[in-house]
Amino acid sequence: MTEHPPKSPKPRLRRSLQAVAGTSALIIGLLSLLLPSPYLIETPGPVFNTIGEIEDEAVISVTGEPTYPTEGALNLTTVYVSGEPTSTVRVPEAVLGWVNPGTDIQPHELIYPSGTTAEQVQEQNSAAMTSSQDLAVAAALQELGIDYSQQLSVVDFTPEADEVGTDEQLRPGDTVTAAAGSDITGLEGLRDAVNTAAGQPVELTVRREGEELEYEVPTYQEADGAYYVGIMLQNEFSFPVDVEIKLDGVGGPSAGLMFTLGLVDEMTEESMTGGVNWAGTGTVDPDGTVGPIGGIAQKVVGARSQGIENFLVPNENCADLQGRVPEGLQTYPVANVSEARQIVEAVRDEDEDFLAGLASCGSQ
């Protein structure tokens, strides 16, 4: 008997199986493009002139002190943030973000802890904006030499403070009046006392229901090298002027510096800018200290896209702009409001000797 070799699968059946496999892979690939990515995308947002108007309404209105006409612009800058929990970033968008020099990609979990809702983000941003406006008023009055009152109230405690028993001494509603024997009215004085203690307990004096009490409060060091007491505090101000800031749809604390400069300009007879258009960013403390913010690379791009040529950068953000400053934009790192004001006025006055000695951020 003659044996025959087994027959090979029919070519048509093989081609059909290959076609099915290829189609499935294509469908899976296309579906993967629709999946949300675990990233947030930061892109340049619009700018808003703090000494200008939006829909025929002044951004900043002051009553209780004389105000004067302004010129030029003192623009605050913004960043669009796309991604959960407020929106969805698809895989192709994330891939394009990686190659766009004006865009930054951040892991979602690095910015928002798991479980954070869109409503919580909105509340946090709104609260930060409200706080930045109060701090800006305080910093402007400080710069202008106008007196106001301020006190610090305990709101809550961090988990670290719970662990060392701080919450067993202080209570929400307590007003912190002194640290290490020195009177304080703002966060700056408390911060200085805690860092000076360098890990040792710091003596805090608080006012509770009209009574002055003293406590030895533990301090601890975080990864940033600074020391903390783990007390969540709220600034409470009493100003001799009424300031209304109208700016809908913008949140966060980074507008503080430009709000402050806008207020100073409106409350000073001589124009600060002399007609020059400025932009900038930075948090601000009541003593005028300018602090770092996020999205600096996107903010300088957004400003330059509007034709702005001068930008105020918080000192601590200067290194973030290495190689990322748009052509034609002059950046000025600043540590405080007085320094920022001096630079703006030097550009107005074309004070080349002063300006020649200033540093800049990144490469032009």
Rounded CA gap, 235 and 286, in Å?
10
Which tokens sit at 12?
């048509």
Which of 99, 100, 158, 146 has its CA nearest to residue 267? 146
The pLDDT value given to residue 34: 46
Side-chain-side CA neighbours of 156 within 13 Å: the count stands at 2
The pLDDT, as a whole number, for residue 93 is 55
Give the mean pLDDT of the chain: 83
In which residue are the tokens 């806008």 written? 262
Residue identified by tokens 């805090």 is: 204
Residue 303: name the closest of 288, 320, 284, 324 by CA.
324
357, with CB counted inside 10 A (0-12, 13-18, 19+), is: exposed
3-state class of 241 per DSSP?
A: coil
The pLDDT, as a whole number, for residue 82 is: 66
DSSP codes, 183-210: E-SSHHHHHHHHHHHTTS-EEEEEEETT
Report pLDDT for 284: 92
Ranges of the chain whose pLDDT falls below 50:
1-3, 24-26, 28-35, 90, 94, 97-98, 364
Q: Which residues contact 115 (CB under 8 A, 6 or more apart)?
A: none
Q: Are 75 and 280 in contact (CB under 8 A)?
A: yes
DSSP 266-310: HTSSS-SSTT-EEEE--EE-TT-BEE--S-HHHHHHHHHHTT--E
Q: What's the N-to-C CA distance of the chain in angstroms?
A: 89
Q: What is the pLDDT of residue 33?
A: 43
Residues 6 or more apart whose CB falls under 8 angstroms from that of 49 comprise: 59, 73, 74, 75
Residue 115: strand, helix, or coil:
coil
| Chain centre to alpha carbon of residue 267 | 26
**Tens digit of pLDDT for each residue in 20-43?**
555 544 454 444 444 455 667 788
Q: Which two tokens stand for residue 179?
A: 């640290």
Check residue 346 and give its pLDDT.
98
| 3-class DSSP state of 245 | strand
For strands 39-49 and 104-107, give the pairing.
Answer: antiparallel
Q: What is the pLDDT of residue 6?
A: 52
Say how far apart CA 250 and CA 125 lie, in whole Å: 8
